[in-house]
């Protein structure tokens, strides 16, 4: 990378669930393959996940936003509203933090996955997002939110959008609004740790892949555990808890993992016939990469996940069920009768990264 003069890269994912961290894994691997030294800025579960994935990479502590979720969809919008002052404070703090880290760690490039304060006038800074438009429970606010969103994005050197360009895309209006930011915007392909390699003999009839912030992760897990006696077959549950050692008491035909590193997770998903999971964008990208069928259950009140689930259900790519209407037997029966349509999307690669760095 001497011809680009980028040697040390700081990568910082948002801590809103684990999706931002896991979708940074292909980017981290690509930078390493180009010979760059990578530093990761994170704390909590995100730091734990990425430390397990990359034990050779140094994690620098950066306080997360620690967004708190509500137990009901109706309460979520208000709970997020009351946390805006804390979010703004975090953004200001991370801007001051970055200014010092660039000098002390001799950083050449900053990659921020949805952390608005990690931009700099000293060095190039990249903002990663698939949400140029932020869906809300109140549609009349979307245009105002877009302007605020762009005001932050314009402080960065460039914006990388993990999606395909053009009409055949994954995130729809979220990533392809009528008006783009004024800084360069690059559609970099989907960010997935997992690609289908070959046809595998199915070992698990159903895989429950849990993720997302609390308390909604636990609420869905509890609902699933109550319903498991109603279904037969081999079942695997991946709880999405990288920093937890607790265990679940389940029958012998059910396997449970608190967390799985990329290789093991890809193997389990490949060996599963049907995935039941949230409709977070990272989960969707990885299902697309593995070409798996799935039932999507959006996090209640998270309008982005609801939009994605509805869009992909309408395209017959996945099935969509609301959490308060989720019935395991009904979902499984609907999936058995459904004709899932497979769609290929361009995937982010090391060659794509090299081209993006030259564009900087």
What is the residue range of 249's domain? 204-337
Closest residue by Cα to residue 345 from 175, 155, 112: 175
**Are 61 and 161 part of one and the same domain?**
yes
Which pLDDT tens digits describe the chain residue by residue (360 residues)?
A: 556 789 999 999 998 878 899 999 999 999 999 999 999 999 998 999 999 999 999 999 999 877 666 566 666 665 666 667 777 878 888 999 999 999 999 999 999 999 999 999 999 999 999 999 988 767 778 888 899 999 999 999 999 999 999 999 999 999 999 999 999 999 999 999 988 877 778 999 999 999 877 888 899 999 999 888 888 899 999 998 887 877 888 887 899 999 998 899 999 999 999 999 999 999 999 999 999 999 999 998 888 999 999 999 999 999 999 999 999 899 999 999 999 998 889 999 999 999 999 998
Structural domain total, the chain: 2
**Do the domain assignments include residue 92?**
yes
Q: What is the CATH number of the domain that holds 352?
A: 3.40.50.2000
Query: CA-to-CA distance for 353 and 28, rounded, in angstroms?
Result: 10
**Do the domain assignments include residue 2?**
no
**Are 226 and 144 part of one and the same domain?**
no
Query: CA-to-CA distance for 126 and 1, rounded, in angstroms?
Result: 17
**Are 168 and 56 part of one and the same domain?**
yes
Q: What is the pTM of this model?
A: 0.91
Q: Render 75-111 in DSSP notation, one character per residue.
A: HHHHHHHHTHHHHHHHHHHHHHHHHHHHHHHT-SEEE
**Are 183 and 35 part of one and the same domain?**
yes
**Do the domain assignments include residue 305?**
yes
**Do the domain assignments include residue 244?**
yes
**Are 182 and 211 part of one and the same domain?**
no
**Do the domain assignments include residue 167?**
yes
């Amino acid at each position: 990378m001497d011809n680009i003069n980028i040697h040390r890269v700081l990568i910082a994912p948002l801590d809103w669930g684990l999706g931002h961290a896991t979708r940074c894994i292909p980017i981290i691997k690509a930078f390493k393959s180009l010979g760059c030294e990578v530093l990761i800025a994170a704390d909590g579960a995100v730091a734990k996940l990425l430390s397990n994935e990359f034990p050779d990479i140094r994690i620098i502590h950066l306080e997360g936003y620690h967004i708190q979720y509500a137990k009901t969809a109706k309460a979520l919008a208000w709970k997020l509203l009351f946390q805006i002052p804390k979010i703004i404070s975090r953004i200001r703090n991370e801007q001051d933090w970055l200014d010092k880290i660039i000098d002390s760690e001799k950083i050449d490039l900053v990659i921020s996955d949805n952390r608005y304060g990690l931009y700099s006038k000293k060095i190039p800074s990249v903002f990663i997002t698939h949400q140029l438009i932020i869906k809300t429970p109140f549609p009349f606010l979307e245009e105002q939110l877009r302007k605020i969103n762009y005001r932050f994005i314009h402080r960065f050197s460039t914006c990388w959008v993990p999606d395909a360009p053009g009409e055949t895309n994954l995130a729809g209006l979220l990533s392809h609004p009528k008006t783009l930011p004024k800084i360069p915007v690059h559609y970099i392909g989907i960010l997935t740790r997992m690609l289908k390699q070959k046809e595998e003999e199915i070992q698990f009839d159903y895989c429950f892949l849990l993720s997302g912030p609390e308390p909604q992760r636990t609420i869905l897990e509890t609902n699933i555990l109550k319903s498991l006696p109603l279904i037969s077959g081999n079942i695997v549950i991946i709880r999405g808890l990288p920093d937890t050692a607790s265990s679940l008491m389940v029958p012998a035909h059910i396997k449970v993992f608190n967390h799985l590193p990329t290789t093991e997770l890809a193997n389990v998903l490949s060996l599963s016939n049907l995935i039941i999971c949230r409709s977070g964008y990272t989960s969707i990208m990885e299902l697309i990469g593995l070409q798996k069928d799935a039932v999507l259950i959006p996090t209640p009140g998270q309008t982005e996940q609801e939009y994605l689930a509805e869009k992909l259900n309408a395209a017959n790519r996945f099935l969509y069920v609301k959490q308060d209407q989720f019935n395991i037997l009904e979902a499984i029966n609907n999936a058995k009768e459904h004709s899932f349509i497979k769609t290929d999307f361009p995937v982010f690669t090391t060659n794509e990264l090299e081209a993006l760095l030259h564009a900087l």
